[in-house]
Structure 1
Amino acid sequence: MSKTSKQQKNGLFNKFLNGVEAVGNKLPHPVTIFILLSVAVMIVSEIASRAGLAVNFYDAKYKTEKMVEAVSLLNADGLRYMINTATENFTGFHPLGTVLVAMLGVGVAEGTGLINTALKKLVLSTPKKLITAVVVFAGVMSNIASDAGYVVLVPLGAIVFLSFKRHPLAGMAAAFAGVSGGFSANLLLGTLDPLLTGITNEALSAGGIDLTILPTSNYYFMFVSTFLITLLGTWVTEKIVEPRLGEYKGGYADDSMEVTQKERKGLIAAGISLLVFGAVMLLLTLPENAALKADGQLKQFIYHGLVPTIMLFFLVPGLVYGIVSGTIKNDKDVIKAMSTAMGTMGGYLVLCFFAAQFIKYFSYTNLGIILAVSGANFLKAIGFTGLPLIIAFIIVAGFINLFIGSASAKWGIMAPVFIPMMYQLGFTPEFTQLAYRIGDSCTNIISPLMSYFAVIVVFAQKYDKDTGIGTLISTMLPYSIAFLLGWTALMIGWYLLGLPIGPEAFIHLPM
């Protein structure tokens, strides 16, 4: 390609990127969006109620049919409901407690330095041929620790590649692809699983569906997805991104990759403590008369005890690492780490308050049920169901993700509509949530509105001062396309084989 043609192509591409950025910047904050949506529900509920809007709601699970009518919020009863239930709506919002409890343990593991040291040790112990795969894999795994991957592993990826005399931006891209592009994949359960599951359960309740799903509902699919994302991320890095970047001409970084003696001792101790914790949990759950079993079953533990277990999974090795490595001197250091983690959740708390009101308003007015049933009937009438519908839903989720970065904010908006709608079309809420997670993850790395996007640009400018938003998006776009195509193909294969997507979680509702 000639230089002139390349410049023209880049010019058109940058115009497109500038257009995406301009449109996205005009969107209000997610909290404002929920407020506007709540006001819209009030107005529409009054109009629908006056028009006598109603539908026959068929519950495929219980094979019962009932009539639901629109209920207005703009009358005395509606006003009392909004005022009297506002606090209860917030405190009873399921994702609120699950995320905050899990973050207590993650905060200790991150604050003591355990996560940072474990990531460094992982890449330092890797053979040269596997370094790309390990950087991507570590990125995927790091998302169980919330934002740690962005602030620790992305710059670490650049340092690792530099140490092997490879282009640092390729290492940064590989890490960023794993952390953000593979955000939903993991071998372990993280904070995202109970967060999205909580919103899904709220949407089921709002849709009048007497059903709840488990935090483990997508586990089988996301476990396999970890290896898929690692393979795709490695291939794109080595075959597309790194050749395009060429040889690195800049100076080499002074950043230290060394793991100190204290850190090494801390890691060993943390690993031992994790093994002991795992053994204790097995004793509490596997034997026939295990303490955590109720009536011989683990159902209550899976529904209610899994989140505290995730907290302890990070808290125990975090404490041990901190004590042995010297980053924890007393109890105040532990509380400080927890408080720091909680301090980062302020925006999430505000978001939860208004998201909870919106979802509860949807439930009270019956608009969610009416919209879901009407939408499902329309899709059936035009024959747009089954696999084509799921693929279209993934694309829609990925497109919306370009403009609203928060996974919980988008799902809070989409779930009350799509969960009941897909349920009416025979898809389980677990599968609808899985499809959303694919679309939500794939376009994270090309959205200028993703909360850490600007931070990644700053990291990249350390190695190339001319790096900008367009540079980063053009670098990450091949990953986004590969992840979207590969992940969707995996979903299609899973769908055709009819495999379970998690424990007691399937694709179709039982007939």
Structure 2
Amino acid sequence: MTIGSRVLNGIERIGNKLPDPVFLFLWLIGGLVVLSLVGAGLGWSAVNPVTGDTLEAASLLSPANLERLIIGMPSTLTDFPPLGIVVTIIYGASVAERSGLFTTAIRAALLNAPKVILTPVIVITGMVSHHASDAAYVVVIPLAAVIFAAVGRHPLAGLAAGFAAVSGGYAGNLFPGAQDALLLGITEPAAHLIDPSYSVNIAGNWFFIVGVVLVFTPIVWFITDRIIEPRLGPWTPKDAPAATADEKQVVTADEKRGLAFAGLTILAMIAVWALITALPGSPFIDPEAEPAQRFNPLYKSLAAFFALTFFLSGAAFGVGSRSVTSHRDLVRMMREGIVQLAPYLVLVFFAAHFVAMFNWSGLGPILAINAAEQLRQINMPAPLLLISVVLVSCFFDLFVGSASAKWSALAPIVVPMFMLLGISPEMTTAAYRMGDSVTNIATPLMSYFPLILTFAQRWDPRFGLGSLMSTMLPYAGAFLIAGLSMVALWVALDLPLGPGVGVHYTPPPPAVAVQLPADGGITGPVAPPEAAAVAGPGAVTR
């Protein structure tokens, strides 16, 4: 057995022993309780260099925190910022998905793609299809294989390109969506641990995710056409399996009419939002804010914009394609979308309590200030700091598939820490997303890996787990190198991450100097009792 096989087998064994993310959060909460007892007993404290408040570690078993936990349990869940944003967008996205808009648009894009640019069309479609959630895996990837076979190219090369785009390019897209709302919604309360006034919006990574599309598309194109397809060898169409009914399906006249209706609706929504923004006294513009912050209301409105656009364009497609015959169909689609959200709702209950309890304990900013001071003494350049976030994210992605679960655990530490080092919460989030994206296609623990293997074995029954991993590793390696380079260059060139969002965070002048005693704990001058609490409500908000 080769060293590579042993490493992969070891990763698989370790991953299989990990608990479900729900119980992983329970373990984290248990460890957090113990750590809070130790911190409170030893008197851990720190001075927030932004607000000047003295932060003291608090036991999570204190009467006040037990009251917060038990009596405030419902509000802790409902106050978790990503929950409201994600559910809002899902109401609209479920109509767009179940009316057939997403899948039909994907089929139309792929079936009509010219042969010469077939690979990049599949890649871009795969990244944009993240808005379709799980449909991206079950529509784009097998259909990419079918289309490659239809034009005489090896279907497994098409499958690899689709898998690389949908899963490996998970950080890329042309427009923000539910994933942006979820991850950036976790970022904001983490930022509040240091700066309670900091605001994060759904467009905070918009330019970055477009950059991922621009960088990853030629990479997948080159690797698919020049490395993977030649390695797979010639394809003999006589060996092709019979196409399924879904794969034979072309875009019908009704569906074309539905796509036209949906396209006009999207254009109308853009026009309405632009008109509201341009009107005097627009609620989307704050004339009293600083120039860089005046459009913050507009950015915050994007969650509603995407929810309404998905809903109305999905309904328009349904009317045009006759998949929606009454208003009851729309209600049913929204209801089914919320039902599919059930696993997330279970996970978010425990994630919300972990994040809130981390805030109540005071450990997040104390650890962040301590770590930031140590890193500041090392004087490591910002690009190298963010590269470390990418690598840590890559490592954890080999074992835990849920992007939101990992970020819920990491954000309360790394976001405040990097803010104190002058890096914006959005840039830290972008680095995390890059790391979470690139290794998805290289780990057999990814939830859709067995499904992709099943798709591949339909074309080649001898195609095993090792075959799929060896096919995808060139993509993963190239993505990692490109992702690290992209993050480093983004910081070095100080490129904007989204509208009004930059790489760097500039805190107000420190109110009190942070002191590091010999024992490594952080202390500061005694502050009035009211300054000892972390600013903000008991349950973390974004």
SS at match of 1:135: helix
Residue 13 of structure 1 aligns to which amino acid in structure 2? G
2:140 aligned partner: 153
Alignment of 1:283-432 (within 5 A): 283-290=275-282, 292-293=284-285, 298-303=295-300, 305-432=301-428
Residue 100 of structure 1 aligns to which amino acid in structure 2? V
Rounded Cα–Cα distance in structure 2 between residues aligned with 1:270 and 1:51: 61
Of 41, 44, 50 in structure 2, the residue corresponding to residue 53 of structure 1 is 44
Rounded Cα–Cα distance in structure 1 between residues aligned with 2:21 and 2:314: 33
Structure 2 unaligned spans of 5+: 289-293, 508-542
Residue 240 of structure 2 aligns to which amino acid in structure 1? G
Rounded Cα–Cα distance in structure 2 between residues aligned with 1:345 and 1:132: 32
2:85 aligned partner: 98
Rounded Cα–Cα distance in structure 2 between residues aligned with 1:116 and 1:73: 48
Cα distance per residue 1:430-461 (max 9 Å; x no partner): 11111111101111111222222222112112
Distance apart, 1:34 and its partner CA: 0.9
Kindly indicate whether the alpha-carbon contact (under 8 Å) linking 1:207 and 1:366 is maintained by their aligned counterparts in 2: no
Distance apart, 1:371 and its partner CA: 1.0
- Aligned sequence identity (%): 38
Kindly indicate whether the alpha-carbon contact (under 8 Å) linking 1:158 and 1:168 is maintained by their aligned counterparts in 2: yes
SS at match of 1:68: strand
SS at match of 1:55: strand
1:83 aligned partner: 70
Kindly indicate whether the alpha-carbon contact (under 8 Å) linking 1:205 and 1:363 is maintained by their aligned counterparts in 2: no
Residue 268, structure 1, aligned to residue 260, structure 2: yes
1:31 aligned partner: 22
1:279 aligned partner: 271
Of 475, 479, 493 in structure 1, the residue corresponding to residue 475 of structure 2 is 479
* CA gap 1:500/1:403 in 2 versus in 1, 3 angstroms: same
1:4 aligned partner: none
- Which structure's relative contact order is higher, taking Cα pairs within 8 Å and 6+ residues apart? 2
Distance apart, 1:207 and its partner CA: 4.6
Aligned residues: 497
Distance apart, 1:124 and its partner CA: 2.3
2:240 aligned partner: 251
Structure 1 vs Structure 2 CA RMSD: 1.8
Alignment of 1:452-463 (within 5 A): 452-463=448-459
Rounded Cα–Cα distance in structure 2 between residues aligned with 1:257 and 1:177: 24
Distance apart, 1:56 and its partner CA: 2.4
Distance apart, 1:235 and its partner CA: 1.0
* TM-score, length basis structure 2: 0.88
SS at match of 2:49: strand
Structure 1 unaligned spans of 5+: 1-7
Kindly indicate whether the alpha-carbon contact (under 8 Å) linking 1:70 and 1:365 is maintained by their aligned counterparts in 2: yes
Distance apart, 1:379 and its partner CA: 2.0
Kindly indicate whether the alpha-carbon contact (under 8 Å) linking 2:203 and 2:302 is maintained by their aligned counterparts in 1: no
Residue 206 of structure 2 aligns to which amino acid in structure 1? Y
Distance apart, 1:320 and its partner CA: 1.1
Cα distance per residue 1:4-27 (max 9 Å; x no partner): xxxx6xx44333222111111111
Kindly indicate whether the alpha-carbon contact (under 8 Å) linking 2:442 and 2:469 is maintained by their aligned counterparts in 1: yes
* CA gap 1:352/1:67 in 2 versus in 1, 3 angstroms: same
Residue 48 of structure 1 aligns to which amino acid in structure 2? G
Kindly indicate whether the alpha-carbon contact (under 8 Å) linking 2:284 and 2:296 is maintained by their aligned counterparts in 1: no
Rounded Cα–Cα distance in structure 2 between residues aligned with 1:162 and 1:448: 26
Cα distance per residue 1:191-225 (max 9 Å; x no partner): 11111111001212345643121211111122122
SS at match of 1:58: coil
Rounded Cα–Cα distance in structure 1 between residues aligned with 2:278 and 2:116: 40
Distance apart, 1:65 and its partner CA: 2.7
Of 425, 443, 462 in structure 1, the residue corresponding to residue 439 of structure 2 is 443
